[in-house]
Amino acid sequence: MEIYLLRHAPAGTRDPEGRADDSLRLLTPEGIEKMKHLARAMRALKLKFDLILSSPFERAKQTAEIVAAEFKLKRALKFTEHLAPDGDAELLIERLPSLYSRPKRVLLVGHEPHLSRLAGMLIAGHEITGFKLKKGGLCKLTARRLQYGACAGLDWVLTPKLLAKLV
């Protein structure tokens, strides 16, 4: 199984007083344009996805929708609380094969540090310190048999700057 992890594109700033609902923060206009460019670069890499699974938070949702539109995969786009910042990564991994028709290539769109923790768990069986996806960053893991624990290898990590240079 190929697992792609994509961090959402740049979003508006957080409410410094924490009163606003963080799940409602949108991508900035620049973040939208950047993600459109990055989605074209992802297509230029000839990536393929059977499923695009995203956090329901607006900024991740917008990011996933941009990718789904570029790849013409709007029907393959689903949302799950398990990719929200406080989501349950173990339940996500446990349920992914059975709930989503055993996808072979899945794009997971979410947030930091949730995605880097997930990558660490799948690669090493624990969180890897120092691993962090930048906004719009993408990485690819490959797992023979998906499980919550060390089951995958890291194929590559692309920063948004590197990814953007592909188109």
| DSSP of 27-73 | BPHHHHHHHHHHHHHHHHTT---SEEEE-SSHHHHHHHHHHHHHHT-
What confidence tier does 130 reach under pLDDT thresholds 50, 70, 90?
confident
CATH number, domain with residue 17: 3.40.50.1240
pLDDT-based confidence at 27, cuts 50/70/90?
A: very high
Token pair of 23 as six digits: 């799940």
Q: Which domain holds residue 130?
A: 2-164
pLDDT at 49: 96
In this model, does residue 14 exceed pLDDT 90? no
Peptide bond into 29 cis (omega under 30): no
Inform me whether the pLDDT recorded for 139 exceeds 90. yes
Please check whether residue 56 is in contact with residue 77, taking contact to mean a CB–CB distance below 8 angstroms. no
The chain-wide mean pLDDT, for the chain, equals 93
- What is the value of pTM for the model shown? 0.95
Of residues 38 and 101, which shows the higher confidence score? 38
Structure confidence by residue, pLDDT tens digits, 97-116: 876 777 899 999 999 999 99
3-state secondary structure 124-164: HCCCCCCCCCCCCCEEEEEECCCCCCCCEEEEEEECHHHHH
- In the chain, what percentage of residues exceed pLDDT 70? 98
- How confident is the model over 70-77, as a mean pLDDT? 96
Judged against a pLDDT cut of 90, whether residue 32 lies above it is answered with yes
Element (H, E) at 83: none
Number of structural domains, the chain?
A: 1
Instruction: Give the bridge partners for 11, in sequence order.
Output: 27
pLDDT tens-digit map of 84-97: 999 999 999 998 88
